[in-house]
A and B are shown apart, each in its own frame.
Chain A
Amino acid sequence: MSDTTTPQPDSIIVADSEVIIRNVLSDYLRQCGYKVIDAATSDEVIEILVNGAGPFAAVLSDADLGGSMNAFSLRFWVREKRPEIHFILAGNVDVAAKAAGTLCDQGPHLKRPYDPQHVMTHIKQLLSAARK
């Protein structure tokens, strides 16, 4: 019998101009049960929010996000246009990984698939390999 009280997972937008970081964070949040949409720039975030299928619970954005609008202006835009969406600004990978862990705790699954520290370690390993 299906549990009709279980809500569908809201979507989270992971916005980061570094593809490796974006991909690892998104993968982690998907394992937490969220539907995750990747965005490489602020323009992509706006395109998703205007034309993509929601509902959206949060935007997790890198502070150095590229695009025609910087991350701080994007946060202002989201607060103005979509105040129901939680906007999380992460200044570095460590903060982003911890924020993903917090989102995971609030998410559809009851526990984290693994510790956010592993997210950060994995990102650093992949970045190191890509830059060799």
Chain B
Amino acid sequence: MSCQVILLVEDEVLIRMLLAEVLRDKGYQVIEAASGDEGLAILLSGQHVTMIITDVRMPGQIDGMALATRAKQAWPQRPVVVMSSHLPAADAAIADKFIAKPFVPAMLMKTIENLIGPPCQTPPPHNQTAS
């Protein structure tokens, strides 16, 4: 059984902590990054990441939109969700989904499930070996 891994990029630690906890409680694996630079480092390290959720305004060399753009150029099949309190949705067109802050966690969960499905994917029966 393979589990979905979400890269969560958010510089506000309490928001990141809250969102990561909600996602982990639902069964998703979460990798937390505190900036666009950290998010990019995780992607470049080759760790398995199913989808990316990123804030826009963050300190560092690259912001959330630059991270989303680089991620979509390198891994076009990997869903990216951009969340922001100030960015017009049209400016986040590179992303698969834009979520305006503030939002309730249930809204984010619905978006995630629509994009990547449930936390863990059970392989089809013909791939399972008898024990």
CB of B92 within 8 Å of the partner chain: no
Chain B residue numbers with a CB within 8 Å of A47 are: 13-14
Given A20-B41, A47-B14, A48-B14: A41 in contact with B46 (beta carbons within 8 A): no
If over half of A's interface residues share one DSSP class (helix, strand or loop), that class is named, otherwise mixed; here it is helix
Contact among B34, B41, B44 for A41, CB-based, below 8 A: B34
How many Å lie between the Cα of A52 and that of B12 in the bound state? Answer: 12
Identity of the chain B residue whose Cβ is nearest the Cβ of A44 in the assembled complex: B13
A19 touches B14 (CB 8 A): no
Interface residues of B in 42-66 (CB under 8 A from A): 42, 44-47
How many Å lie between the Cα of A41 and that of B33 in the bound state? Answer: 12
Interface residues of B in 28-42 (CB under 8 A from A): 31-35, 38, 41-42
Contact among A44, A48, A127 for B45, CB-based, below 8 A: A127
The size of the chain A interface, using a CB distance under 8 A, is 20
Identity of the chain B residue whose Cβ is nearest the Cβ of A127 in the assembled complex: B45
Identity of the chain A residue whose Cβ is nearest the Cβ of B37 in the assembled complex: A19
How many Å lie between the Cα of A39 and that of B14 in the bound state? Answer: 10
Which residue, of A37, A127, A129, has the highest number of chain B Cβ atoms within 10 A?
A37
How many Å lie between the Cα of A129 and that of B40 in the bound state? Answer: 12
The size of the chain B interface, using a CB distance under 8 A, is 17
How many Å lie between the Cα of A130 and that of B47 in the bound state? Answer: 10
Mark each residue of chain A from 30 to 44: 1 if its CB lies under 8 Å from any CB of chain B, else 0.
000000011111001
Given A19-B34, A23-B32: A130 in contact with B44 (beta carbons within 8 A): yes
CB of A6 within 8 Å of the partner chain: no
Tell me the smallest distance from the CB of A11 to a CB of chain B, in Å. Answer: 10
B34 touches A44 (CB 8 A): yes
B41 touches A39 (CB 8 A): no
Given A48-B17, A52-B17: A40 in contact with B35 (beta carbons within 8 A): yes
Q: What are the 3 tightest A-B residue pairs by CB atom distance, in nearest-first order?
A: A40-B34, A130-B45, A19-B38
* Residues of B participating in the A interface, judged by any CB pair closer than 8 Å: 13-14, 16-17, 20, 31-35, 38, 41-42, 44-47
